[in-house]
Amino acid sequence: MRINEDRLKNHFEELSQIGKLGDTGVCRPTLSTVEKEAFELVFTWMEEAGMKCRIDHFGNLIGRKEGKDPNAPVLMVGSHLDSQPYGGRFDGVAGVLSGIEAVATLTENEFVPDRPIEVVSFCDEEGWRFGKGLFGSRGILGMLDEGELLNKDKDGVTREQALRHFGCDPDRSFESIYPHGSIHSFLELHIEQGPLLQEKNQPVGIVTGIAGPLWLTVKIKGYSGHAGTVPMTMRQDALVGASEIVALFHEIMKQDPQGSTVGTVGSLSVFPDSRNSIPEEVVFTIDLRDIDLERRNHYENQLRECVANVAEKHQLSYEILEDQNSEPSFCDEWIKDAIRKECQQAGLHAPEMMSGAFHDALIISNTCDYGMIFVRCKDGISHNPAEYASYEDLAIGADVLYGTVLKMMK
């Protein structure tokens, strides 16, 4: 093993204390003081690895090691340090720490690459706090939506306020945009978040592409009234309509014979949220994904039909807003090949697989070639404090990442 397995393990252990949730989980909301604390610690590790660090105006933490030609397009590796509210300690963290480990190993070997290399922890990959994810990676490519900084979290804090509180200056964010052509290629290591590698008894997998997520917000409007007096036949109960849609959506999604289309309602709020008032408005989210865009579109149409039918049945009105709509993106052959060769040299039989989860790589693929390495995780559990990957597997993954970085720098 070329990387330092013990150092990598220590970094995981130390970082998992920041935002610790229960015995094994973490809650590290994006742009929070908890994430800032994580950034400060990781900042020191990036410096120890021989990088110069900065936090840009999109809230990304970036470490950079210069190459022989400082003007050459950069090789970027990374992932994210923010977590789900009820999250695990490996999601995102694995990609950032293995990137730092790879650069530390380069530095220890006194290897000066031709091109610069950067390790990035992207801001708000997860997307739950402000309703839209992959913020930092979209930011550096100039792909933010108009008005997006005004999105609010559950406490009414806007993204702009959170960025300023974090030390960023949104008025200067244009300075943090990477001009087209300035990123040579991108590599991300991530835990698989699915059960395939465990089933195949392999520590590492090669990603072939990333499914495209569609995120919608559905607003159902009825009419509030007294829970004790309005006859059942006269009600326009928004929660009754929303509940029916949630249950029908689940049944619709289960029809997919391949089971590769997945749909989730993960957040729902009721107004006025009072036990003795009829619900007037319900707002809920839809997360719909597939590696095949046509099939995803087919299920989106079924969902829209279902919302219209249920609304009519209960005399409700509705609105459907689109928060995020990405197409699937496929990894580039030369990078998959570099990972394949690394795995072969290490005696691994790495399976090749699509990612159902999205990653910052999905966004960065808009500007350059990209590849991804998966590391086995126990029972495929993720977005849950029980998420687990062994330090042995993570070290094997980090070593494959290191070797792939060497190949990608040539």
List residues binding ligand GLV (CB under 6 A).
126, 357-358
Report whether 243 contacts 307 (CB < 8 A): no
Choice between 4 and 384, CB closer to ligand GLV = 384
Choice between 81 and 102, CB closer to Mn ion = 81
**By the criterion CB under 5 A, which residues form the site for Mn ion?**
91-92
Task: Give the one entry of Mn ion, ligand GLV, none that residue 351 binds, where binding means its C-beta sits below a cut-off of 5 to 8 angstroms depending on kind.
Answer: none
Choice between 127 and 222, CB closer to Mn ion = 127
Least distance to ligand GLV, CB of residue 54, Å: 25
Choice between 361 and 406, CB closer to ligand GLV = 361
Choice between 193 and 202, CB closer to Mn ion = 193
Least distance to ligand GLV, CB of residue 252, Å: 20
Least distance to Mn ion, CB of residue 151, Å: 19
Choice between 30 and 236, CB closer to Mn ion = 30
Least distance to ligand GLV, CB of residue 176, Å: 22
Task: Give the one entry of ligand GLV, Mn ion, none that residue 358 binds, where binding means its C-beta sits below a cut-off of 5 to 8 angstroms depending on kind.
Answer: ligand GLV
- Tell me the residue nearest to ligand GLV as measured from the CB: 357
* CA torsion through residues 402, 71, 141, 209, sign: negative
Choice between 118 and 126, CB closer to ligand GLV = 126
Least distance to Mn ion, CB of residue 270, Å: 26
Least distance to Mn ion, CB of residue 119, Å: 16
Least distance to Mn ion, CB of residue 222, Å: 34
